[in-house]
Amino acid sequence: MATVSKHKKVRIMKQKLKLFRANEPLKSVLMWGINYSFSALNHVKQRALLLKDDFKAYMKVKVNNHHFNKENMPSRFKFKEYCPMVFKSLRDRFGVDKMDYWDSFTRHQPLWDSTRGKSGSKFLVTYNRQFVAKTISSEEVEQMHQMLEEYYSYIVKGHGQTLLPQFLGLYRLTVNDQESYILVMRNVFSPRLAIHKKYDLKSKPLPTLKDADFLTDLCKMHIGEESKKKMLSTLECDIQFLQENNLIDYSLLIGVHNPEIALANSMRMLVMTVKGLVVVCWSLTVEASMIGWCLQVTVLEHLAHNGNVVVCRWLDQVLCLV
């Protein structure tokens, strides 16, 4: 008697959860990568002292997907994090909560910000405007590696008290065989305040709201005597660090928040003064062209003494501090 075999039909379940929802593959991979890094670093104990190898280390993963979250993620991509233990330590020293960092990049997709910079780089801003991710070149990645150990030592020595940019992460994303390098920094501008006017001070005759505009408008920074002393002392140390590392081209970006305009827009907010330093680091290529990066950080907040709030990043010239 012949044996009759029965074949059970199995229904293939399709994924219902859409992970790392974004409208561009690059954003999705960045969100995925930071989530992956967050999970991996949670299983690694932070050492009190970093080793030389930590500044050469990297974490890299290659992903091949098949019918998985294909609406949002590319089928093949790569994610690489440079010096993960170094940047984890920097985030800790700058007081960046690891859950805030993870949530800022994974809850909602970051958005492109076309108002920042004119160097050809692109900027992504997290949904809560706490962090900025800037695209940089491979040459600039090399620059970062050359100065990272000195930068880290300086931050440790100063217990995180600096007006220099706060570097929080460095990544390489590969999508469709195209590499993108991402440098993450803390946003210098307060996410609570709208900026109604900006000055870019370079001590050069460049167009529109430059040094002459700032002097003509008789702008002053009211920060108080104690804050003034602390700011100038910190700047003196920062400038010495920059000189020792041959970072010699500075520019100051000042953003003005006008409470009257804010109130007219029915916005309730606390009037604060935020100061920070913008450093433009230049290096010469073989063709003698210059590669620049505009880096940002929020440093201090104080009540303003006048009608305007000044959001400041420093400068190769003397400002009027009151």
Tell me which residue of 305, 142, 139, 291 sits closest to 228, measured CA to CA. Answer: 305
Coil, helix or strand for 121? Answer: coil
Residue 3 forms part of a structural domain:
no
DSSP-derived letter for residue 4 is: P
Show which of 162, 186, 210 is a domain's final residue. Answer: 186
Determine the pLDDT at residue 271.
35
Show which of 186, 217, 238 is a domain's final residue. Answer: 186
Same structural domain for residues 34 and 179? yes
Same structural domain for residues 182 and 245? no
Residue 12 forms part of a structural domain:
no
From 134, 200, 238, 275, the catalytic residue: 134
Same structural domain for residues 154 and 238? no
Same structural domain for residues 34 and 182? yes
- Count how many domains the chain has: 2
Does this model's pTM top 0.85? Answer: no
Residue ranges of the alpha helices (H) in the chain?
25-41, 84-93, 98-106, 138-157, 211-216, 225-244, 259-264
Same structural domain for residues 171 and 248? no
From 92, 97, 217, 249, the catalytic residue: 249
Residue 192 forms part of a structural domain:
no
DSSP-derived letter for residue 245 is: T
Same structural domain for residues 164 and 229? no
Residue 45 forms part of a structural domain:
yes
Determine the pLDDT at residue 58.
98
CATH number at residue 114: 3.30.800.10
Same structural domain for residues 178 and 238? no
Residue 15 forms part of a structural domain:
no
Same structural domain for residues 118 and 218? no
Q: How many residues does the chain have?
A: 322
Q: Which residues of the chain have pLDDT under 50?
A: 12-18, 203-208, 266-319
Over residues 124-167, the pLDDT tens digits come to: 999 999 999 999 999 999 999 999 999 999 999 999 988 788 99
Tell me which residue of 195, 173, 176, 214 sits closest to 317, measured CA to CA. Answer: 214
177 is catalytic: no
Same structural domain for residues 42 and 141? yes
Residue 119 forms part of a structural domain:
yes
Written as six digits, the tokens of 162 are: 């600096």
Helix H or strand E segment including 82: strand 76-82
Q: Determine how many CB atoms are found less than 10 A away from the CB of residue 288.
A: 6
- Name 167's bridge partners: 185
Cβ atoms of 311 and 189 closer than 8 Å: yes
Same structural domain for residues 180 and 279? no
Residue 73 forms part of a structural domain:
yes
Residue 20 forms part of a structural domain:
no
- Name 303's bridge partners: 272
Show which of 129, 158, 186 is a domain's final residue. Answer: 186
Determine the pLDDT at residue 281.
34
Same structural domain for residues 201 and 180? no
Give the Cα separation of 278 and 42 in Å (integer).
32
Written as six digits, the tokens of 197 are: 């006017």
Written as six digits, the tokens of 237 are: 């140390």
Over residues 31-49, the pLDDT tens digits come to: 999 999 999 999 998 888 9
Domain that holds residue 53: 25-186
Helix H or strand E segment including 1: none
> Rg (Cα) of the chain, in Å, rounded?
23
Determine the pLDDT at residue 69.
72
Same structural domain for residues 167 and 58? yes
97 is catalytic: no
Name the residue with tokens 């440098």: 183
Contacts of 75 (CB under 8 A, 6+ apart): 64, 65, 66
